[in-house]
Amino acid sequence: MPGLKITLLQQPLVWMDGPANLRHFDRQLEEITGRDIIVLPEMFTTGFAMEAAQQSLSQDNVVTWMQTKARQTNALIAGSAALQTDAGAVNRFLLVEPDGKVHHYDKRHLFRMADEHHHYKAGTERVVFEWRGWRILPQVCYDLRFPVWSRNRDDYDLALYVANWPAPRSLHWQSLLVARAIENLAYVAGCNRVGTDGNGHHYRGDSRIVTPQGEILATAEPHQATRIDAELSLTALKEYREKFPAWQDADGFTLE
């Protein structure tokens, strides 16, 4: 069964400057080859700004750039951006294949402590798609706190979280990534930013990749602009699910 080579780019973001952020990630991506997935942080073109959708790059510009990078790296390029759509402003997680195909997920849980729910429209659709033999669930930052939304219904193998998760609550970020992996019997990867944003919020990063058993497969040094790599095993995942089939005893539920 296919392995999956994943890279997380834990990086600082230039506040509200899309072209500068794309140039920065141009440089980072030049050095990356032979990967299946490359993950950028939440709102990687602007930082976590409430006015970003009205002042940031258009969806066409962001998608075109991601398509170019996906083709150059022969990898799925993933990251969220603040975008203005016909339905309103959204925090949209874009995942772009080398052939140009675009998957997207709009952040469901909007961070009310920053008034995100007053500036962006909440997503309504839980998304799972397949890439190179793996079923992937994309999620964004605050979604991590709500386990029902990410509940594995035996329909995904890897959950991807992108974030601008502030340093004072880093313990929550680290703990919940492990919890989501254990309870869903799935790999979990969380890519967070570092640095200080335009509102003075500081970010440690603490990006990491977690096994279904809750073990840390790879982790980034806090406060450092860096990348982490790991190779995930679908064979090991299936063997663990067969050996420890807790999913068979899960409670049924419906989402409204």
Which residues participate in catalysis according to the annotation? Answer: 42, 107, 141
Amino acid (1-letter code) at residue 109: H
Helix/strand/coil percent split, the chain, to 5 = 30, 30, 40
Instruction: State whether residue 25 is helix, strand or coil.
Output: helix
Burial of 152 (0-12, 13-18, 19+ CB in 10 A): buried
Residue from 216, 210, 225, 193 nearest 80 by CA: 193
The CB-side HSE value for 81 (13 A sphere, CA atoms) comes to 28
